[in-house]
Amino acid sequence: MPDVGCAGLLVEDTFCGPLAALPPAGSLLALDDLPVRAGGCAANVAIDLAKQGVTVDLAGCVGRDGAADALVKSFARHDIGTSGIVRVEQYPTSRTIVLLIEGQDRRYLHVFGANRAFAVEQIAPQWLASLKVFYLGGLFALPGIDFGKLAALLTCCREAKVKTVVDVVVPQGQVGMAQLKPLLPLIDVFLPNDDEARAFTGLVDPFDQLRAFTDAGANTVIVTRGGQGSVAGRDGKMWTCGAYSMDVVDPSGSGDAFTSGVIRSLLQGWDLPKTLRYASAVGASATRAAGTTDSVFSAAEAEAFLIAHPLTVTEGR
């Protein structure tokens, strides 16, 4: 049986670039390749975990099309279970074109597709109870998720001693924690980035964001901050972790790779400072190539990198 179940966003990603600039209107820019990869939070985290030697199953929705076939074949190459993937008739497989322009932030062209159909009811209780960690990727970008039913699912995980990790994709205009607040006490590790944390809390300072989440009942919260590292809170304590500097080609998968590092740390039983260091190394490794998962460290690579490149974690602000 798998140690980890990853549920949520499944996407076929097509990467364009890195380019020096977008071509002028009406012109043609010849490219060597347009790499197509599995993407979406759940897929990325599953592949990254598999690269670290963790057994994984996926749950999510795809269409009945060639993109779905390509995704399932990609997961099979990584020995990732796909019994929880549902093929739906009403939507195509979700797809994203990622435009990589040198010196600029990424641009995305996205078809939401079959992710609209994913629902809590598609997660089998017996599958859930067999896991050590359940990860839900892309909450708030999964319109089929009923928050009351998700709370019941997270409660079942707590009763079965299955650790839960949740991250979010916050849509434009999202404000406040009304929907999130009832879930926070049921989530073992909550993983927003600083922009998402700002949308929920209305606060800019990352430590104020941590306090707002913990005051709302959160257990462990890790707020990722890109090149500024991360901050974390648990049991009334807070930690600050730096970030590794890499030769960045594409930062698209760094957050999901960081999450995979957190999940492996849960399986290993590591404390939060060691978790932050390890997750930071894995997250940084994802930025070294175009695509979300191609350059992610194996567990051995990450641990060797940590020995050679110590990273400071400080308790408090």
3-state secondary structure of 99: strand
Per the listing, tokens 């190539």 go with 289
Mean pLDDT by 10-residue block, N- to C-terminus, for the chain (317 residues)? 96 90 90 90 98 98 97 96 96 93 86 96 94 97 96 97 96 83 98 96 95 96 94 95 87 92 98 97 91 92 95 87
Q: Does domain 4-20+35-310 sit in CATH 3.40.1190.20?
A: yes
Q: For position 188, what pLDDT does the model report?
A: 98
Q: For position 119, what pLDDT does the model report?
A: 97
- Tens digit of pLDDT for each residue in 56-81? 999 999 999 999 999 999 999 999 99
Q: For position 100, what pLDDT does the model report?
A: 84
Of 36, 74, 42, 35, the closest CA to residue 58 belongs to 42
Map out the domains of the chain as residue ranges. 4-20+35-310
Q: For position 53, what pLDDT does the model report?
A: 97
Q: Which two tokens stand for residue 226?
A: 């890109």
3-state secondary structure of 221: strand
pTM: 0.94
* First-to-last C-alpha distance (Å) of the chain: 41
- Tens digit of pLDDT for each residue in 115-158? 999 999 999 999 999 999 999 999 999 999 999 999 999 999 99
The strands making up 95-101's β-sheet, listed across from edge to edge, are 36-39, 11-19, 95-101, 107-111
